A and B are shown apart, each in its own frame.
Chain A
Amino acid sequence: QSVLTQPPSVSAAPGQKVTISCSGSSSNIGSNYVSWYQQLPGTAPKLLIYDNDKGASGIPDRISGSKSGTSATLGITGLQTGDEADYYCETWDNSLSGVVFGGGTKLTVL
């Protein structure tokens, strides 16, 4: 069971928008920055968002991140079939004194 809670799956049609939530607590998201990663099938994770809302190098503006309190959200607009992947949130946990990841969310573009 992951420290950060994500929905197991989300889906939307091509061209639409989707959001993926990541819920934590005051010891992790509530007091640290959040990052987001995309993992395409059979590949290593790829950094999308860091410092809650900063896009990594080469990441298009249609991918965004935000944080409020003990939750964070990844948003993807203009969905493409190439966006089908697993998405993970990540942050530091002060109580555990370690990095924690969300359980992952599988995005399906219908």
Chain B
Amino acid sequence: QVQLVQSGPEVKKPGASLKVSCKASGYTFTDNAIHWVRQAPGQSLEWMGWISPVSGNTKYSQKFQARVSLTRDTSATTAYMELSSLTSEDTALYYCARGRGHCISSSCLYFDYWGQGTLVTVSS
């Protein structure tokens, strides 16, 4: 069965950087993009970007473009999300999700499997 298992909770100081991992299993890792979505306490979902495991190509949300980096290790079937210059507004649950869609473009993109979420707290 498809599983995305994320790394554990983190507590960071303002200005620090964060790296969250997402280990995929149960399917061919290079077949689907891995997306990252975050959810601040009591708030909606916010898309951060995606990485293509086969090519390493990435696409980032304009909001996070300057301080997010998505990478992957195909031998370990693991994707990583790194976020720099943390502030208290980055306190959130961070999810990885598998992207699906039958379209060549992103017109029909959806997320069929999600990780369990990684709680990140940014506090001095």
Q: Write the residues of chain A forming the contact surface with B, with a CB cutoff of 8 angstroms.
A: 2, 31-33, 35, 37, 44-47, 50-51, 56, 88, 90, 92, 96-104
When the two chains form the complex, which single residue of A44, A46, A101, A103 contacts B117, counting CB atoms closer than 8 Å? A44
The reply to whether A99 and B44 contact each other, CB–CB distance below 8 Å, is: no
The reply to whether B45 and A44 contact each other, CB–CB distance below 8 Å, is: no
The reply to whether B45 and A92 contact each other, CB–CB distance below 8 Å, is: no
Q: Can you report 7 residue pairs joining A to B where beta carbons are below 8 Å apart? A: A2-B44, A32-B107, A35-B109, A44-B117, A97-B59, A98-B61, A104-B44
Residues of A with C-beta under 8 A to B116: 44
Is B12 an interface position by the 8 A CB rule?
Answer: no
The reply to whether A101 and B110 contact each other, CB–CB distance below 8 Å, is: no
Residues of A with C-beta under 8 A to B59: 97-98
User: Smallest distance from the beta carbon of B70 to chain A beta carbons, Å?
Assistant: 14
Question: Which residues of chain B from 105 to 124 have any CB-CB distance to chain A below 8 Å in the complex?
Answer: 105-112, 114-117
The reply to whether B107 and A45 contact each other, CB–CB distance below 8 Å, is: no
Is B100 an interface position by the 8 A CB rule?
Answer: yes
The reply to whether B44 and A35 contact each other, CB–CB distance below 8 Å, is: no
The reply to whether B62 and A96 contact each other, CB–CB distance below 8 Å, is: yes
Is B46 an interface position by the 8 A CB rule?
Answer: yes
Q: Write the residues of chain B forming the contact surface with A, with a CB cutoff of 8 angstroms.
A: 35, 37, 44-47, 59, 61-62, 95, 97, 100-103, 105-112, 114-117
The reply to whether A99 and B35 contact each other, CB–CB distance below 8 Å, is: yes
Bound-complex Cα distance A46 to B97 (A)? 10
The reply to whether B112 and A56 contact each other, CB–CB distance below 8 Å, is: yes
Bound-complex Cα distance A58 to B47 (A)? 25
The 5 A-B residue pairs with the shortest CB-CB distance, nearest first, are A99-B47, A35-B110, A44-B114, A33-B108, A50-B110
The reply to whether B44 and A47 contact each other, CB–CB distance below 8 Å, is: no
Nearest residue (CB) in B for A35 is B110
Known: A98-B62, A99-B35. A92 touches B109 (CB 8 A): yes
Bound-complex Cα distance A33 to B110 (A)? 9
Nearest residue (CB) in A for B111 is A47
The reply to whether A45 and B47 contact each other, CB–CB distance below 8 Å, is: no
